[in-house]
Amino acid sequence: MIKLVLVDDHEVVRKGLKALFEEEEDIEVIGEAVDGKAALEVAELLRPDMMLLDLNMPNLNGIETAKILSKTHPKIKILVFSMHNNEDYVVKSIQNGVDGYLLKDSDKDEIMKAIHTIYNGQKYFPHQISGILVGALQSKGGLGQETGGKIKSLISKKEIQILKLIAEGQSSKEIAESLELSIRTVSNHRANMLKKTGLSNTAELIQKASKEGLLSQS
C-alpha cells in the first residue's frame, strides 16, 4: 500500500485527487495539507511514502517545502503536481530534491504511472517536462547551478515595485491595497522572486537588490 499525502491549497483539487485514488487498491490517502508548513507537520506526524505537492501555496511554497523535506525526511518521495510548466519552476524543483513533476492537466493513467514509478525508486518526468530539462541543460550547462545573474535581469518591473515596498516595511496586505492586487498575487510575486534568484529569503533579496541600486530607482 502506497501511503500518500495531498498538499494543495485548493480544496477542490484535494477532493478530486482523493476521489481518484479511492478507486485504487494499492494507494491510500492518509493525510492532507493546505500549505507547506502544514505539509512539514503532516510529514513528521504520519511519515507517508509520498507527497503530491503543489508549488504555489501560502506560508511556505512547494519548492521550499521540497527543499526542507528532502533533508529532514529523505525517505518521503516528492511528486510535484503543478500548473506551471516553465523552466524556472521545473529546474528549481529538481534542484530542491523532487522525484517527479506532473502538470495538473495530466490524465489518470499518467498520474498512476508517475506514482508507481517513483514509489519503486525511479524518477518520473513526462515528455513535456523532459523537453524543458533538456533546454535547461543546454542553456545553463547543468541543473545544479544557482542563478548568478543580476536581480534586475531576473525579476519583472512589477516585482521590483513590490520589492521596494517590502523594503519599506509594508506587509503583503498593505502592498496589495497600494497596488490594487490580491494578497495572494503579492505572495506569489514574493515567492517567485526567491525562485528566480535562487536566494533563500527576502532579506537576502533586498540586500542584493539594494547593492544593485534597484531600490533607489524611481
Where b means 16+ CB within 10 Å and e means fewer, 128-153 reads ebeebbeebeeeeeeeeeebeeebee
Q: What share of the chain is helix, strand, coil (3-state, %, to 5)?
A: 55, 15, 35
Domains of the chain: 2-140 (3.40.50.2300), 151-216 (1.10.10.10)
Residue 148 clears pLDDT 60, i.e. is over it: no
The pLDDT-based confidence of 198 (bands split at 50, 70, 90) is confident
Letter for the amino acid at 66?
Answer: A
Percent of the chain with pLDDT over 90: 56
pTM: 0.64
Lowest mean pLDDT among 115-124, 181-190, 203-212: 203-212
For 24-70, how does the pLDDT look when each residue is reduced to its tens digit (9 = 90+)?
Answer: 999 999 999 999 999 999 999 999 999 999 999 988 999 999 999 99
Give yes or no for a contact between 97 and 66, defined as CB atoms under 8 angstroms apart. Answer: yes
| Contact (CB, 8 A) for 27 and 2 | yes
By C-alpha distance, which of 75, 73, 101 is closest to 87? Answer: 101
